[in-house]
Chain A
Amino acid sequence: GQNIDQPTEMTATEGAIVQINCTYQTSGFNGLFWYQQHAGEAPTFLSYNVLDGLEEKGRFSSFLSRSKGYSYLLLKELQMKDSASYLCAVRRADSWGKLQFGAGTQVVVTP
């Protein structure tokens, strides 16, 4: 099975940086995804890591350490529109496309 843990909620001010951690336990790891979900909307793809290291995409970066079963999503220069839930999801090598999601981290950006 898989256990995916991430904090329930984080609050930060506009312009600041927030780091959302995700730890997982799985057999046959085949990639970790971060999705963003605004209230009442569908999840949208943000980033993907399958090898150790940092992937940078504009204001968002994602890091992976496979040996530690650990990832983080870094949001820089926070904007009000970044207020959303951020979902960590793990894909296993032995399952066709199946993603196991964490419960999500609600990020609240304040003025």
Chain B
Amino acid sequence: DTAVSQTPKYLVTQMGNDKSIKCEQNLGHDTMYWYKQDSKKFLKIMFSYNNKELIINETVPNRFSPKSPDKAHLNLHINSLELGDSAVYFCASSLEGIGADPIRSQYFGPGTRLLVL
């Protein structure tokens, strides 16, 4: 059973294009995240949604627009792709609200490897 899934797994595209990455979780979690992991393997949070509401918005170019149609889905749309956007993008989820255990660990999806040429 897949807990956190992302599509596509690989994405190769030209500079200037617009692309989307989709994420779904079946864990019943109320909070979802997008992280970017660069070539130096540094994992940095970009956005977080709780029950479809944006709660974390780090300093990310406005070319990146997250959308959460429901609490089980968090998509990431990127406009006008640039070379520096090449990275692995991880979706994650956790249960933060009512019913959460004290640990509230985050579960990560398999990642989307984006290469901008």
Interface residues of A (CB under 8 A from B): 31, 33, 37, 41-45, 48, 50, 85, 87, 95-101, 103-104, 106
Contact = CB atoms under 8 A, between A and B. Distances in A.
5 contacts: A44-B108, A95-B56, A96-B55, A98-B45, A104-B43
Contacts, number: 55
Contact of A98 (B56, B102, B108): B56
Contact of B102 (A37, A45, A50, A95): A50
B31 A96 contact: yes
Contacts of B40: 103
Interface in B41-87: 41-45, 48, 50, 55-56
Nearest to A100: B45
Contacts of A85: 41
A85 B102 CA distance: 25
Contacts of B48: 96-98
B45 A96 contact: no
Contacts of B109: 42
Contacts of A37: 41
Nearest to B96: A97
Name, among B50, B56, B105, the residue most crowded by chain A CB atoms within 10 Å (CB to CB): B105
Nearest to B105: A45
A45 B42 contact: no
Q: Which 8 A-B pairs have the closest CB atoms?
A: A42-B108, A45-B105, A101-B43, A48-B103, A97-B96, A103-B42, A43-B108, A96-B55
Given A43-B43, A45-B107, A96 B90 contact: no
B25 to A, nearest CB: 13
Contacts of B104: 97
